[in-house]
Amino acid sequence: MGNGTSIGRVRGLGSAHEGAHHWLLQRFTAIGNLVLMLFLAVSLALLPDYSYGTVAGWAAQTVPATALALLIISVFWHARLGLQVLIEDYVHTPGNKFACIAALNLAAIGGGVFGLVSIARIALGGIS
């Protein structure tokens, strides 16, 4: 089995064994999104009214604020994973692929941090 055989030509070019981990992360974040969105929908449906004070007061409580923070993390992580696959499949030039993934990471981290800071401001009483 030297370099002249079929197996010798493809040796080292097989699967990187990264796809299963990525696939599982996407499924776990999807399940987390479903559970947290269900909690959000039920919690909001049980509020007596939807005025700013009522919703801000609800979001300032510990459990809803934690659930909202987890939802923000899960949604942005899930979106980043899905868009990364899209970029890897359809952007073929290495420089463009790097730039797209760098922009994706910046947008995902920036959006997630913005959402978390917003929830923290509401939960800590910075917005009334």
Residues 6+ apart with CB under 8 A from 28: none
What pLDDT shows up at residue 61?
A: 94
Measure the CA–CA gap between 92 and 84, rounded to whole angstroms: 13
Which residue's entry shows tokens 């493809």? 10
Q: Per-residue confidence of the chain (128 residues) as pLDDT tens digits?
A: 455 666 655 665 555 566 788 889 999 999 999 999 999 999 999 999 999 999 999 999 999 999 999 999 999 999 999 999 999 999 999 999 999 999 999 999 999 999 999 999 999 986 65
Q: Are 109 and 84 in contact (CB under 8 A)?
A: no
Q: How many of the other CB atoms lie within 10 Å of CB of 93?
A: 9
What pLDDT shows up at residue 19?
A: 73
Measure the CA–CA gap between 30 and 74, rounded to whole angstroms: 8
Tokens of 4: 């002249």
What pLDDT shows up at residue 20?
A: 83
Backbone angles phi, psi at 91, to 5 degrees: -105, 115
Which residue's entry shows tokens 């990187």? 16
What pLDDT shows up at residue 3?
A: 57
What pLDDT shows up at residue 54?
A: 94
What pLDDT shows up at residue 1?
A: 47
